[in-house]
Chains A and B, each alone.
Chain A
Amino acid sequence: MNRINQKLQEDKKLLSIYFTAGYPNLGDTVSIIQDLEKNGVDMIEIGLPFSDPLADGPTIQESSTKAIRNGMTTHKLFEQLQGIRDTVSIPLLIMGYFNPILQYGVQEFCEKCQEIGIDGLIIPDLPVDVYNEKYKTIFEAHGLNNVFLITPQTSVERINFIDSVSNGFIYMVSSASVTGSSTGFSNDTREYFKRISEMKLKNPQVIGFGISDSESFQQATKFAKGAIIGSAFIKHLTNKGTSKIAEFVKNIR
Chain B
Amino acid sequence: MSYQVNEKGYYGEFGGAYIPEMLYPNVEELRSQYLEIMKEESFQEEFKQLLKDYVGRPTPLYFAERFSKKYNTKVYLKREDLCHTGAHKVNNTIGQILMARRLGKTRIIAETGAGQHGVATATVCALMGMECIVYMGAIDIERQAPNVARMKMLGATVIPALSGSRTLKDATNEAIRDWINNPVDTHYIIGSVVGPHPYPDMVAKFQSVISEEIKTQLLEKEGRENPDYVVACVGGGSNAAGIYYHYLDKPEVGIIAVEAAGKGVFTGESAATSALGKEGIIHGSKTLLMQTEDGQITEPYSISAGLDYPGIGPMHANLFRTGRAEFISITDDDAMKAGLELSNLEGIIPAIETSHALAIFETRKFNEDDVVVINLSGRGDKDLNTYIEYFNL
**Which residues of A are at the interface with B, using a C-beta cutoff of 8 A?**
50-55, 57-58, 61-62, 65, 68, 73-75, 97-104, 124-128, 130, 148-151, 153-155, 158, 173, 176-178, 181
Contacts and interface: CB of A to CB of B under 8 A. Distances in A.
A149 B22 contact: yes
Contacts of B17: 127
Given A61-B163, A102-B280, A178-B181, A55 B294 contact: no
User: What class of interface size applies to chain B in its complex with A?
Assistant: 35 or more
B21 A99 contact: no
B18 A151 contact: no
Contact of B293 (A53, A102, A103, A148): A103
A52 B294 contact: no
Given A100-B295, A125-B284, A176 B182 contact: yes
B163 A104 contact: no
Contact of A52 (B22, B24, B183, B282): B282
Contact of B21 (A52, A68, A104, A149): A149
Interface stretch (B86-94, B99-107, B172-180): B172-180
B197 to A, nearest CB: 11
A14 to B, nearest CB: 21
27 contacts: A51-B298, A52-B173, A52-B282, A52-B297, A55-B177, A55-B180, A58-B162, A61-B164, A75-B294, A99-B295, A100-B296, A102-B280, A103-B291, A125-B284, A127-B17, A127-B18, A127-B19, A127-B24, A130-B18, A149-B20, A150-B21, A153-B22, A153-B184, A154-B21, A154-B24, A176-B180, A181-B181
Nearest to A74: B294
B294 A100 contact: yes
Contacts of A65: 163-164
B20 A55 contact: yes
A74 B164 CA distance: 19
B21 A173 contact: yes
Nearest to B180: A178
Contacts of B23: 54
A-B pairs, top 7 by smallest CB distance, nearest first, are: A100-B295, A103-B295, A149-B21, A124-B20, A55-B20, A51-B296, A153-B25
A151 B295 contact: no
B16 interface: yes
Nearest to A128: B21
Given A54-B20, A61-B164, A103-B278, A68 B295 contact: no
Given A58-B163, A68-B296, A151-B21, A125 B281 contact: yes
Interface in B144-193: 162-164, 169-170, 173, 176-177, 180-184
Nearest to A151: B22
Contact of B296 (A50, A54, A178): A50
B20 A51 contact: no
A52 B181 contact: no
Contacts of B281: 97-99, 102, 125
A176 B181 contact: yes
Interface in B273-306: 278-284, 291, 293-298
Interface of B: 16-25, 162-164, 169-170, 173, 176-177, 180-184, 278-284, 291, 293-298
B22 A125 contact: no
Given A127-B17, A176-B184, 16 more contacts: A52-B164, A52-B173, A52-B297, A54-B173, A55-B180, A68-B296, A97-B281, A98-B281, A125-B18, A125-B19, A150-B21, A153-B24, A153-B183, A173-B21, A178-B180, A181-B181
A26 to B, nearest CB: 14
A74 B181 contact: no
B132 to A, nearest CB: 21
B214 to A, nearest CB: 36
Nearest to B165: A51
**Residue among A75, A97, A99, A149 facing the most chain B CB atoms (10 A cut-off):** A99
A177 B181 CA distance: 4
Contacts of A158: 24
Nearest to A209: B22
B18 to A, nearest CB: 5
**Residue among B21, B177, B291, B297 facing the most chain A CB atoms (10 A cut-off):** B21
A29 to B, nearest CB: 16
Nearest to A181: B181
Contacts of B164: 51-52, 61, 65
Given A125-B284, A154-B25, A178-B180, A62 B295 contact: no
**Residue among A52, A65, A101, A154 facing the most chain B CB atoms (10 A cut-off):** A52
Contacts of B19: 54, 125, 127
